[in-house]
Amino acid sequence: MSQEEQQILITAPRRAELAAVDRPVEPLPPNSVEGQTLATVVSVGTELAYAYTAESGHPHSPGYAAVFEVETVGAEVTDLSPGDRAFCMGPHRSFQRVPRAEAVPVPASLPPERAVLARLMGVSMTTLVTTSARPPGPVLVTGLGLVGHLAARVFAACGYRVIGVDPVASRRELIAAAIDRVEPSVPLDDPSVGARVALAVECSGHEQAVLDACRGARKGGEVVLIGVPWHRRADLYAFDLLHAVFHGYVTVRSGWEWELPRQPAPFARGSLYENFATAIDWLARGRIEVDGLCEVRPPSTCAESYESLLNGTFLELSVVFDWTNERTHPRRG
């Protein structure tokens, strides 16, 4: 007999709800683990553009970052036990079932609402692994939403000199103490920045930010596009971008995190799950500080939370859903 659980569904454009879902009736595979979700985090750009405001493809089951408490382990799993905590790329759902290779152990000392942010640290850690820029070279991060904010902290923690750019003052204030410099726009007229940046990590998806990043890059520098250009937001000519790229010898490339394999592989420069494990380690050791970045809410607030994120009415950068909340998911026992 299946066991009823809950998940967040986007059932129509700008309509989110908490819906009932059954756990799989199939036995747990021998190489897998499952358990009750403790926390999931909203990836604002992807979830708002791809799921919450989408005009088709409903229902969407959003979310790709979860921390859960292990309840059951398969017969072949020997290094996780019931009661342990683990991170996975799971949806906004009250339970998780994943292969052991895709469950990253989480130390008991690391709260789930912090550990779950390892997923969004991993977005920019692909660029950290693949870039030719080396510390202490200057790194420009444009767009200081949650992904950009974490990118700025990750690169600063690795010894780069980081300049963060965002037109929103509250976002600049949130990161100011952690990096070298914050600005409302790329300070191209500053000789220490214009044509001097070793790496630009573009996290806003805005065309003007890409052009400014190219103009700020030094000869042979890189501009990595992490922010997805979901919609056209500026009236710019391709000539301006091409001129900056050609005359600056700039490499412009995608920052798609899936450039790396999921797991370690021969000759590969890292992997997604190695990055997640590293991110969790850094969070546990306090190398990356994330307090105050997200508001913790019960999943029952999903409709209000998505709408507030869309309208920009949050002081925080995103929402972490707490699945242990008794009002939405009573604990079994």
Which of helix, strand or coil describes residue 45?
A: helix
Q: Is the pLDDT of residue 315 over 90?
A: no
Averaged pLDDT for residues 28-54: 96
4-117+290-322 domain in CATH 3.90.180.10? yes
Assess contact for 316 and 296: CB atoms under 8 A.
no
> In sequence order, which residues have a C-beta less than 8 Å from that of residue 285 and are 6 or more positions away?
none
Burial degree of 173 (CB within 10 A; 0-12, 13-18, 19+) = exposed
Strand pairing report for 138-142 and 85-88: unpaired
Q: Which segments of the chain are extended strands (E)?
A: 4-12, 15-22, 32-41, 66-73, 85-88, 95-99, 104-106, 138-142, 161-165, 181-183, 197-202, 217-225, 251-254, 294-297, 318-322
CA distances to 140, 158, 224, 235, 257 from 130, rounded to whole Å, are 16, 14, 10, 31, 10
- Band of residue 314 on the pLDDT scale cut at 50, 70, 90: confident
pLDDT of residue 60: 93
Mean pLDDT for all residues in the chain: 94
| Per-residue confidence (pLDDT) for residue 1, from 0 to 100 | 40
* pLDDT greater than 90 at residue 330: no
Residues of the chain with CATH 3.40.50.720: 125-259
Q: Give every CB contact of residue 301 below 8 A, 6+ residues apart in sequence.
A: none
Q: Residues of the chain with pLDDT > 90: what percent?
A: 89
| Residue indicated by tokens 């339970």 | 95
Cβ atoms of 209 and 142 within 8 Å: the answer is: yes
Q: How big is the chain, counted in residues?
A: 333
Where in the sequence of the chain do the CATH 3.90.180.10 domains occur?
A: 4-117+290-322
pLDDT for 331: 35
Q: Which of 66-70, 189-193, 224-228, 245-249 has the lowest mean pLDDT?
A: 189-193
Residue 3 is predicted with a pLDDT of: 63
Dist CA 284 CA 109 (whole Å):
7
CATH ID of 125-259, from 3.10.110.10, 3.40.50.720, 1.10.760.10, 3.40.190.10: 3.40.50.720
Q: Using DSSP bridges, classify how beta strands 32-41 and 318-322 pair: parallel, antiparallel or unpaired.
A: antiparallel
Residue 205's contacts (CB-CB under 8 Å, 6 or more residues apart) are 45, 143, 227, 228, 229, 230, 233
Model confidence band, residue 203 (pLDDT cutoffs 50, 70, 90): very high
Closest CA to 316 of 114, 202, 146: 146
* Alpha-carbon distances of 23 from 9, 27, 62, 304, rounded to whole Å: 16, 11, 17, 26
